[in-house]
A and B are shown apart, each in its own frame.
Chain A
Amino acid sequence: MLKVQGLSFSYHRDKEVLKDISFQLDRHDILCLLGPNGTGKTTMLRCLLSLNKIKRGSIEIDGVDLTKASARERAEMVAYVPQASEMAFPYESFEVVLMGRIAHLPTGGNPTARDKAIAYEVMERLGITHLIHKDFNRMSGGEKQMILVARALVQQSRILVMDEPTANLDYSNQVKILQVIRDLAEEGYAILMASHFPNHAFLACNKVALMRDGVIIAQGNPEDIVTTENLTRLYQTPVCVTEAVLKFTRSVTKVCVPVMV
């Protein structure tokens, strides 16, 4: 579905921030992009959203060159879930969600009953209809993140790009968001998320890419890639990947913990 090949990007002529990045994302995929701060994860996402103009390489969606698409066409292919932040003014959350329909509105037209129905259905599916009339700026971080996911979904594109969807969320909200992400992938969405939590790769993702200094140093399925050696190399600090046995469910899950020596 999404195919990135040999992508390079630089803010200044002689210093490349992203170097020769290639990966592929198909329907039902959840790709987790891991890496230390300032390594180019967000820059990478911005390239996919055409907020940054790539220097070399190609981004194709089903064979269509994304870099040549108009803002409207791109919005119909890729939707973005930013980190939860404030709106400049007090907006009702339904107004925020409905904004996602902009690419589908005719010039000068208002959202139709159908647009509103789509927005309502999405909110219903995410179980957040009780937030409809709430002031977006006064909601909790978890609620905001859900609203932003809803806004991306009403855009009705098949690829979702998420920038640290679980940042600043407590465990219960992290799990809620990850559950939503997994459900969406099952439905056929392709999801790319940047994250600071390697654990999420085990919890929700079927693909992972490790990025350091603008280069993908390893990618593949989480079982093979998220290892003690790789994470230690990635973060340049000792990280241990071990197994946790859950007594309640008698299941075994992999976990990553940083080690202080």
Chain B
Amino acid sequence: MVKPIGNKKYGLTIAILSCFIIGLFFVSFLIGRYSIHPRTVLDIILSNFIDIEAYWQDDLDLVVMQVRLPRIMLGILVGGALSVSGASYQTLFKNPMAAPDILGVSAGAGFGAALAMLWNSSWWQVQIFAFVFGLIAVTATYLIGSVFSRHEITVLILAGIVVSSFFQALLSIVKTLADTDTQLPSITFWLMGSLGKGTSESVLLMLPALGISLAVLFIFRHHIDALAAGEDVAATMGVNVQLMKTVTVCCSTLMTVSAVSICGIIGWVGMVVPHISRMLTGSSFPRLIVTSFLVGGSFLLIIDNVVRGVKGVELPLGVLTALVGTPVFVILLSRVKKGWS
């Protein structure tokens, strides 16, 4: 009879990761300038659902519900979104180095969003601009890459660097044009990457784009998985390759963009997390997408906890993810380089 191939181990890993992220979620409430007793945190959260008499001060309620909760949620959602989008790009391009920041999507989205901010646009306009330019960036990277070589891993990455630099340059122009008193500081700070702007509103605004993208990627997970065997081979197995490529790029870009337009450019998460996830539950995309979300959410939440925990200064999040991400990436590279070649 058929052995359940690795299903048990996968289930167990997902269970452990889920427990971990739930635990982390609650622990994260304890970190910050105000020290709040865990019992109080729990009661404040519960008081939204059941009747608990408030024995705490009103401002504690504000800190937990209006400041920490959205920020923690945002950490999980943004970390998960960037990681799943990295995993999708990697599987789609058959390229272990692919990630939203590497492919120029982040820079493109950043430019689009900054441009919209320059015109004092509404939140929706910022989103749309970021999405359009993110899509333009990844398309440009893909086209430039395939002009030179469809098979060389490094060519796509070089194309990404070129496109990234191009949009960084455009971004600099936007910064020069920005009003130095009002617009420039906010654009600059936003670009450094921070979950500090997390409000309940921004979480709610991010959810639809993220939810739809995740759902679509999940529905087509087996078809996207087949792309890792090569586009032609996938086509012979019954996959509509052109449709799957479009769907994957659009969903990944939409997820990246919804993260970038709220939290700025947070690098390295999208590249490193999928590799950690592959070590845990294998390369198969249907599993990778779930694992990446959980690992990515935990990863960014932990890093943001460090940001919030360090007294005195608020370190930019993007700087910390780079500090952690780069050495982890080098270790991964040396460990699994054989499996890539």
A contact set with B: CB distance below 8 Å: 46, 49-51, 70-72, 74-76, 78-80, 82, 85-92, 94-96, 99-100, 102-103, 105, 107-108, 110-111, 113, 116-117, 120, 132-133, 135, 137-138, 151, 155
A92 pairs with B2, CB closer than 8 A: no
Chain B 218-234, CB within 8 Å of chain A: the 1/0 string? Answer: 11101101101110110
User: Bound complex: CA of A110 vs CA of B220, how far in Å?
Assistant: 10
User: Bound complex: CA of A103 vs CA of B232, how far in Å?
Assistant: 15
Given known contacts A95-B282, A105-B222, A117-B2, A88 and B237 CB-to-CB distance under 8 angstroms: no
Q: How far is the CB of A72 from chain B (nearest CB, A)?
A: 4
Let me know if B162 is at the binding interface, CB within 8 A.
Answer: no
Chain B 242-262, CB within 8 Å of chain A: the 1/0 string? Answer: 000000000000000000000
Given known contacts A71-B238, A113-B2, A120-B2, A82 and B284 CB-to-CB distance under 8 angstroms: no
Q: How far is the CB of B128 from chain A (nearest CB, A)?
A: 28
B contact set with A: CB distance below 8 Å: 1-3, 5-6, 90-91, 94-96, 218-220, 222-223, 225-226, 228-230, 232-233, 235-241, 278, 282-284, 286, 336, 338-341
Question: Which residue of the partner chain, among B237, B339, B341, contacts A102 with CB atoms under 8 Å?
Answer: B237
Residue of A whose beta carbon sits closest to that of B4: A116
Question: Which residue of the partner chain, among B91, B229, B230, B239, contacts A71 with CB atoms under 8 Å?
Answer: B239
Residue of B whose beta carbon sits closest to that of A107: B219
Given known contacts A49-B236, A80-B236, A116-B5, A87 and B228 CB-to-CB distance under 8 angstroms: yes
User: Bound complex: CA of A93 vs CA of B236, how far in Å?
Assistant: 19
Having A71-B240, A89-B91, A102-B239, one finds 8 other A-B pairs with CB under 8 Å, namely A51-B236, A71-B238, A82-B233, A87-B228, A90-B282, A110-B286, A120-B2, A137-B338
Chosen A-B contacts, 29 in total, with CB atoms closer than 8 Å, are A46-B232, A49-B236, A50-B235, A51-B232, A71-B235, A71-B238, A74-B238, A75-B237, A75-B238, A87-B229, A88-B90, A89-B283, A91-B284, A95-B5, A95-B282, A95-B283, A99-B226, A102-B239, A103-B237, A108-B218, A110-B286, A113-B2, A120-B2, A132-B3, A133-B6, A137-B338, A137-B339, A138-B338, A155-B237
A102 pairs with B222, CB closer than 8 A: yes
Interface majority SS (helix, strand, loop, mixed), chain A = mixed
Q: How far is the CB of B286 from chain A (nearest CB, A)?
A: 7
Hey, which chain A residues are within 8 Å of B340, CB to CB? 88-89
Residue of B whose beta carbon sits closest to that of A46: B232
Question: Which residue of the partner chain, among A50, A82, A86, A105, contacts B341 with CB atoms under 8 Å?
Answer: A86
Q: How far is the CB of B105 from chain A (nearest CB, A)?
A: 19
Hey, which chain A residues are within 8 Å of B218, CB to CB? 108
User: Bound complex: CA of A197 vs CA of B238, how far in Å?
Assistant: 30
B2 pairs with A103, CB closer than 8 A: no
Residue of B whose beta carbon sits closest to that of A100: B237
Hey, which chain B residues are within 8 Å of A88, CB to CB? 90-91, 94-96, 228, 340
Hey, which chain A residues are within 8 Å of B96, CB to CB? 88-89
Hey, which chain A residues are within 8 Å of B283, CB to CB? 87, 89-91, 95
Hey, which chain B residues are within 8 Å of A71, CB to CB? 235, 238-241
Hey, which chain A residues are within 8 Å of B91, CB to CB? 88-89
Hey, which chain B residues are within 8 Å of A78, CB to CB? 236
Hey, which chain A residues are within 8 Å of B282, CB to CB? 90-92, 95
Given known contacts A87-B228, A87-B229, A89-B96, A108 and B237 CB-to-CB distance under 8 angstroms: no
Question: Which residue of the partner chain, among A46, A89, A116, contacts B278 with CB atoms under 8 Å?
Answer: A89
Q: How far is the CB of A85 from chain B (nearest CB, A)?
A: 7
Hey, which chain B residues are within 8 Å of A76, CB to CB? 238
Question: Which residue of the partner chain, among A51, A96, A117, A135, contacts B235 with CB atoms under 8 Å?
Answer: A51
B278 pairs with A90, CB closer than 8 A: yes
Q: How far is the CB of A79 from chain B (nearest CB, A)?
A: 7
Given known contacts A91-B284, A102-B226, A75 and B339 CB-to-CB distance under 8 angstroms: no
Hey, which chain B residues are within 8 Å of A120, CB to CB? 2-3
Hey, which chain A residues are within 8 Å of B286, CB to CB? 110
A102 pairs with B219, CB closer than 8 A: no
Question: Which residue of the partner chain, among B3, B95, B238, B278, contacts A72 with CB atoms under 8 Å?
Answer: B238
Residue of A whose beta carbon sits closest to that of B278: A89
User: Bound complex: CA of A74 vs CA of B228, how far in Å?
Assistant: 20
A89 pairs with B219, CB closer than 8 A: no
User: Bound complex: CA of A107 vs CA of B313, how far in Å?
Assistant: 50
Question: Which residue of the partner chain, among B6, B222, B232, B240, contacts A92 with CB atoms under 8 Å?
Answer: B6
A92 pairs with B228, CB closer than 8 A: no
Hey, which chain A residues are within 8 Å of B219, CB to CB? 107-108
Hey, which chain A residues are within 8 Å of B90, CB to CB? 88-89
Hey, which chain A residues are within 8 Å of B6, CB to CB? 92, 133
| Complex A-B, nearest 7 residue pairs according to Cβ-Cβ distance, in ascending order | A75-B238, A103-B238, A88-B94, A89-B283, A80-B236, A90-B339, A108-B219
User: Bound complex: CA of A92 vs CA of B229, how far in Å?
Assistant: 12
